[in-house]
C-alpha cells in the first residue's frame, strides 16, 4: 500500500512521535522510508547545497542516526538534506519524486498559533494529492 513514505523531520523532539509510528507502519507495509530534513539557517538560506558549518554537520548526523534506527529494524531508509524553506523544499521533492504517503509530526499549535507561525504541515498538505499522515507530538 505504501511503497515509499516521505517523512519530513525538523530535528526536534517533536519528530519522535512520527519516527516511532512510521517504524511500525513501514514494517507492516514493507515500505521504503525517505527521511527528509531542510536546513534553515543563514548558511543554508544563502549557500544552499554549498552550505557548511555546525548546523549542516548536526543535521547530517541527526539524519544518519534516524536512518540507522530504521536500518536496525531492516527497514530500507534513505536520508536527504535540503536547504532553505521547509514547505517549499518538501513540495519540490514531491514534484521530482514519487511517494505514496507523507508522514509528519506536528507541534500542535491551535488556530491562532497556526496563523501566527504558519506550519509546514499545513502548507504542504493543502498543495499535494498524496495522502498525508499528521501525528501530533505529545
Average pLDDT over residues 83-103: 92
Task: Give, in degrees to the nearest 5, the angle at Cα 82 between 35 and 111.
Answer: 75
pLDDT at 23: 98
Task: Check which CATH number belongs to the domain holding 58 and give it.
Answer: 3.40.50.620
pLDDT at 115: 40
Least confident of 22-31, 47-56, 80-89: 47-56
Instruction: List the beta strands (DSSP E) in 1-138.
Output: 4-9, 32-39, 77-83, 101-106, 132-136
Look over the chain and give the mean of its residue pLDDT values, rounded to a whole number. Answer: 84
Average pLDDT over residues 33-39: 94
The total of other beta-carbon atoms located within 10 Å of residue 21's CB is 15
Residue numbers of the domain that contains 109 = 4-136
Q: Is the pLDDT of residue 134 over 60?
A: yes
Average pLDDT over residues 57-76: 96
Contact in structure between 5 and 99 (CB atoms under 8 Å): yes
Global pTM value: 0.84
pLDDT at 5: 98
Task: Give, in degrees to the nearest 5, the angle at Cα 33 between 85 and 82.
Answer: 20
Q: How many domains does the chain have?
A: 1
Amino acid at each position: 500500500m505504501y511503497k515509499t513514505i516521505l517523512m519530513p523531520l525538523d530535528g526536534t523532539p517533536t519528530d519522535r512521535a512520527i519516527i516511532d509510528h512510521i517504524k511500525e507502519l513501514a514494517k507492516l507495509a514493507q515500505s521504503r522510508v525517505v527521511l527528509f530534513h531542510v536546513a534553515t539557517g543563514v548558511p543554508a538560506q544563502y549557500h544552499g547545497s554549498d552550505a557548511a558549518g555546525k548546523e549542516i554537520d548536526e543535521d547530517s548526523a541527526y539524519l544518519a542516526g534516524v536512518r540507522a534506527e530504521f536500518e536496525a529494524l531492516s527497514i530500507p531508509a534513505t536520508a536527504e538534506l535540503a536547504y532553505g524553506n521547509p514547505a517549499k523544499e518538501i513540495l519540490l521533492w514531491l514534484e521530482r519524486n514519487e511517494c505514496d504517503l507523507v508522514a509528519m509530526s506536528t507541534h500542535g499549535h491551535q488556530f491562532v498559533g497556526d496563523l501566527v507561525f504558519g506550519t509546514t504541515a499545513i502548507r504542504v498538505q493543502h498543495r499535494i494529492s498524496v495522502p498525508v499522515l499528521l501525528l501530533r507530538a505529545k
